Amino acid sequence: MILILDFILRLAFWLLLAPLLPGIINKVKAWVAGRRGPPVLQLYYDLAKLWRKGVVMSTLASPGFIFGPAVGWVAVLAAAILMPLGPAGSAVSFRGDVLLLIYLLALARFCLAWAAMETGSAFEGMGAAREVSYAVLAEAALITAVLSLSIQTGSFSLVTMLSPMAGAGAVLLAAGLFTVLLAENCRVPFDDPNTHLELTMIHEAMILDHSGPSLAAILHGASVKLLLFAVLLVQAVLPMGEMSALAGIGALAGGVLAVTVGVGLVESFLARLSFRRVPLLLTTAFLLCLFALLVAWKGGAN
User: What does the pLDDT look like over 187-234, one tens digit per residue?
Assistant: 999 998 877 676 678 888 899 899 999 999 999 999 999 999 999 999
Interatomic CA distance for residues 232 and 276, integer angstroms: 28
pLDDT for 99: 95
Interatomic CA distance for residues 266 and 105, integer angstroms: 24
pLDDT for 164: 67
pLDDT for 276: 86
Are 258 and 52 within 8 A, CB to CB? no
Each residue's pLDDT tens digit, 145-194: 999 999 988 889 999 988 766 667 899 999 999 999 999 999 999 998 87
Residue 195, φ and ψ in degrees, nearest 5: -75, 150
Cα-only R_g, the chain: 19
Whether residue 10 has pLDDT greater than 70: yes
Instruction: For residue 222, give its domain range.
Output: 2-301
pLDDT for 87: 85
pLDDT for 275: 85
Interatomic CA distance for residues 227 and 19, integer angstroms: 9
Query: Residue 59, SS3?
Result: coil
Query: Residue 113, SS3?
Result: helix
* E strand or H helix at 252: helix 245-269
Handedness of CA 101, 103, 107, 110 (dihedral sign): positive
Residue of 166, 5, 7, 164 lying closest to 90 (CA atoms): 7
Mean pLDDT throughout 229-251?
A: 88
Whether residue 25 has pLDDT greater than 90: yes
Portion of the chain with pLDDT greater than 70, in percent: 96
Number of domains in the chain: 1
Interatomic CA distance for residues 214 and 194, integer angstroms: 19
Residue of 103, 168, 110, 189 lying closest to 142 (CA atoms): 103
User: If pLDDT is split at 50, 70 and 90, which confidence band does 243 have?
Assistant: confident
Cβ of 246: how many Cβ atoms within 10 Å? 9
Interatomic CA distance for residues 15 and 221, integer angstroms: 9
Mean of the per-residue pLDDT values of the chain: 91
